[in-house]
Amino acid sequence: MNKNLSPELIKFLENTCIFCQPWWLESVSPGNWGYAVAKSGEEIVGILPYTYKTRLKKYRLQDLPSVYSYQGPWIKKGAAKYSRNMSEEKQIMTELINNLPEFAVFNQWFHPHITNWLPFYWNNFSQTTRYTYVIEPDKSINEIWDGTRANIRTDIRKAQDVLQIVEDKDVTRFCELEHKTFLHQGLKLPFPEEMLIRIERECSGRGVRKILLAVDEQGRVHAGAYLIWDNTSVYSILRGSDPELRTSGASSLVAWKSIEFAVGVNKKFDFCGSWNEPIERFILAFGAKQIPFFEITKSSSKVVEVYRAIRKYI
């Protein structure tokens, strides 16, 4: 990672989420990332991390990483009245927008804590509402269990009789599971395997990840989850299951053990959303709360718009 970050920026990043960290950005987009920065005098009051790709040799795309990542602005909260804080937030966001490098396409998922995107609207960005599902840390594990649907509790009990939850030390078996998950849908892995290896190296080295696998007596992996965390939340950024072993209840057991871990460390548990109706139904069965977040987009190149549209069909 060859980026010269100022001490002030490094200090500011201490109070942001894991997806804002330079080592995370390097993992998902090696060499192709940066920060727009807003200042009040010499003090940093806001940042907007971004990753990018280059297409057609000259178009710079600030685009979503292919592994689930929140981005968007991170702004220092003021102690003034609400109206004053909103005014300052508008100024900071506008400065961040103005300090972005030139781009052909902008596409980010804003962290759910961001509830105001109006400055982006006023600068001709567009918004789509997405949803994630969160279990707050203010409930005991018994309360969460009681709020879980009966069929999920039955699956968990059934799986506990025949499966063991293990914490893997490396990502090899989980990566194999991801391949099986997408192959069953007729899809390729949506991210390069090397990206997951980079994420694994950085997260495991910092002690901010856990790989949970449900394994039977024959050593077969039925389901798994890749969890990462920061100061406030545990994020289930990747999940997978063996399509030939899905009747074991393993997915429910892995999700439950993931929730247990988050509750045990007093953090939110973020399922990291899904637009797939059966998956959404499965997540809601654990009593998770639906939380909206913003997908913010803007295009300044018709050429790139056409290119991206064609790429969807080839």
pLDDT tens readout for residues 3-15: 779 999 999 999 9
Q: How far apart are CA 152 and CA 189, in angstroms?
A: 28
Q: How far apart are CA 302 and CA 181, in angstroms?
A: 35
Give the Å distances, CA to CA, from 96 to 22, 93, 215, 269, 307: 18, 5, 47, 29, 28
CA dihedral 127, 228, 276, 310 (to 10 degrees): 60
* Dihedral sign of CA atoms 188, 294, 301, 97 in order: negative
pLDDT greater than 90 at residue 21: yes
Domains by residue range for the chain, with CATH: 7-131+293-311 (3.40.630), 148-286 (3.40.630.30)
pLDDT greater than 80 at residue 268: yes
Q: What is the SS3 assignment for 289? A: strand
pTM for the full predicted model:
0.92
Which residue did the predictor score with more confidence, 64 or 293? 293
| 70, 17 contact by CB (below 8 A) | yes
Q: How far apart are CA 314 and CA 312, in angstroms?
A: 6
Q: Report, as an integer, the average pLDDT of 69-81.
A: 83
pLDDT at 310: 72
What rounded mean pLDDT belongs to the chain? Answer: 91
Q: Report, as an integer, the average pLDDT of 87-109.
A: 94
pLDDT at 57: 73
Give the Å distances, CA to CA, from 216 to 195, 245, 294: 28, 10, 40
pLDDT greater than 90 at residue 80: no
pLDDT at 74: 96
Q: How far apart are CA 220 and CA 3, in angstroms?
A: 42
CA 15 to chain centre: 17
Q: Estimate the share of the chain in helix, then strand, then coil, as percent rounded to the nearest 5.
A: 40, 30, 35
pLDDT greater than 60 at residue 179: yes
Q: Report, as an integer, the average pLDDT of 268-273.
A: 93
pLDDT at 313: 53
Q: Report, as an integer, the average pLDDT of 288-307.
A: 86
pLDDT greater than 70 at residue 211: yes
Q: Report, as an integer, the average pLDDT of 34-40.
A: 95
Which residue did the predictor score with more confidence, 269 or 276? 269
pLDDT greater than 80 at residue 302: no
Q: Report, as an integer, the average pLDDT of 48-56.
A: 89
Confidence label for 1 from pLDDT (cuts 50, 70 and 90): low
Q: How far apart are CA 106 and CA 49, in angstroms?
A: 12
pLDDT at 312: 58
| 67, 195 contact by CB (below 8 A) | yes
pLDDT at 50: 95
Q: How far apart are CA 120 and CA 72, in angstroms?
A: 11
Q: How far apart are CA 296 and CA 27, in angstroms?
A: 22
DSSP element (H, E) containing 212:
strand 209-215
pLDDT greater than 70 at residue 19: yes
Q: Report, as an integer, the average pLDDT of 174-195.
A: 86
